Every structure is written in structure tokens, then in C-alpha cells.
Amino acid sequence: MRKLTNKLRSRAGESFAEVLVALLIVAMAALLLAGMYSASSALDKNAMESDKKLYEAVSKLETTDPAATETPSTITITEETTPGGGTGTTVPPIEVNVYTEDGLTAYQKKG
């Protein structure tokens, strides 16, 4: 502790080696920061491209002629148990049309 107090009170300057080590540490930190910025920019670019593809696919699915791609199907919803331990309920089957475009699927209730 006494050495630190003496160092803080001293009027002597830093040695050349200490200054070089400090500059080396700052330079390494700047390189790491630049690398992180570059990596985050690449990730952001990939995310933007993925979002663009998704929005284009959703738009294409929404503007597709339903009559050309519809597939009749049925959705059945069943709840086996309720939180209180009672018997489950079954919702009557729902008739739907299924539309698929570019790997996305949309459902629309018939009628």
C-alpha cells in the first residue's frame, strides 16, 4: 500500500516501456472493437436479407390466387385435461382451406 501511495505522490514521469505497453493494450482493444463491429455488421446484413426473403414470401402467399392452391383440410382441437383436473373438451372439427407458397402455409376457414 505504501508503494502505491508513494507512486501517486511522486512527480516522476512514466518510463518509455510503460508507455509502450499501454499503447499496445489500447491498440489491441481497438482491434478487438473493430472485429466486433465487423462481425455485428455481417450478422445484421444476414438478418436483413432473411427478413426481406420472409416478407417477400408472405406477400406472395397473401397475393396468391386461393382457388389455384387451396387444399381442403380439417383442424381438430382437443384439450385432454383441464388445470382443475376435470375432463377435457373437444372443439368440433373446423373445415379450412390450406394454402402453401415458398415453404409458408396459411389457413382460411371455409365459408
Is residue 84 included in any domain, yes or no? yes
pLDDT of residue 38: 96
The structural domain count of the chain equals 1
Q: How far apart are the first and last CA of the chain?
A: 84
Whether 1 is covered by a domain: the verdict is: no
pLDDT at position 68, please?
60
Q: Is residue 7 part of a domain?
A: no
Query: Tell me, what's the pLDDT at 60?
Result: 79
- Answering whether pTM is above 0.75, one says no
Q: Is residue 3 part of a domain?
A: no
| Domain span holding position 18 | 13-109
Contact 69, 106 (CB under 8 A): no
Residue 58: per-residue pLDDT = 82
Residue 95 CB contacts under 8 Å (≥ 6 apart), including other chains: 72, 73, 74, 109, 110, 111
Q: What was the pLDDT predicted at 37?
A: 96
Contact 57, 103 (CB under 8 A): yes
- Whether 8 is in a domain gets the answer no
| Sites in the chain below the pLDDT cut of 70 | 64-70, 79-89, 111
Task: Tell me, yes or no, whether 48 lies in a domain.
Answer: yes
In a domain, 102, yes or no: yes
Q: Which DSSP string corresponds to the chain?
A: -HHHHHHHH------HHHHHHHHHHHHHHHHHHHHHHHHHHHHHHHHHHHHHHHHHHHHHHHHS-HHHH-EEEEEEEE--B-TTS-B--EEEEEEEEEEEETTEEEEEE--
Residue 21 lies in a domain: yes
